[in-house]
Amino acid sequence: MNKNQLKNYRMFLAVQNTIDQNTTIWSGHPKFTETKQQFDLEIDGIEQLGEEASRTTKGKTRDKNQIRAILEKKLVVLSGTVSAYAAITSNETLQNTVITSKAALEAKKETDLVIYSHTLVKQAEALQEVLTNEYGMTTSELEDIKTTTAEFKPLIGNAKPEQSAINAAKRNIDDHVQQGKFLLKEILDKLMIRYQFTDITFFNEYQQSRTIVDV
């Protein structure tokens, strides 16, 4: 991670720790809980990509097959969600495009797997509101699939990740940082206002954790 990414990441961890230590205060607040879960996913994404970006082509790199297996797992989860929606709404056209078998995904050619990923994510994005509200599929999960797909695509035909994949990981860290900052500034900061009047200790601890410290 670069210096700016690292500063924000450390601030994210401080916020996460403060909120986790005060679970009993906000756990009954559905929107706070949902946003906290999304924020945790952004931190997870930064950590995963941070490990990838810190590697070099000369060092030990994650095998392409491992990345594909991760992508297949994520696609099976999303496929299952979309398939359930299609079944409930009697959408046979959509149902026929969804692959819920991991074995079937494993049998796909690398390029076909990437195409399927792009297609499935677009279908899910078109249904984002209902999938989030009724099926628990968040925008962060879709972005995570996009990130993994982008990580896998440059490796097609290669035995190991090349520098381009590592550079892509560095760029994608910025995406998670920006989304994390959005969740804080536009949602969590505003949801925290109530605690300025109902639990000033929690509010003050949160405000302190939001401070970015130079590294």
Q: pLDDT tens-digit profile of 177-205?
A: 999 999 999 999 999 999 999 999 999 99
Residue/partner pairs of 4-10 with CB below 8 Å, 24 or more apart: 4/177, 5/46, 5/50, 5/173, 5/174, 5/177, 6/215, 7/212, 7/213, 7/214, 7/215, 8/177, 8/180, 8/181, 8/212, 9/43, 9/46, 9/50, 9/177, 10/212, 10/213, 10/215
Using the predicted structure, report yes or no on whether residue 138 has a pLDDT greater than 90: no
pLDDT of residue 202: 97
pLDDT of residue 51: 74
Q: Please tell me which residue, 60 or 143, carries the higher pLDDT value.
A: 143
pLDDT of residue 60: 40
Q: Please tell me which residue, 56 or 137, carries the higher pLDDT value.
A: 137
pLDDT band at 56, cuts 50/70/90? very low
Contact (CB, 8 A) for 107 and 149: no
Tokens 């209902």 found at: 130
Using the predicted structure, report yes or no on whether residue 77 has a pLDDT greater than 80: yes
pLDDT of residue 58: 41
Q: What is the length of the chain?
A: 215
Tell me what the pLDDT averaged over the chain comes to. 88
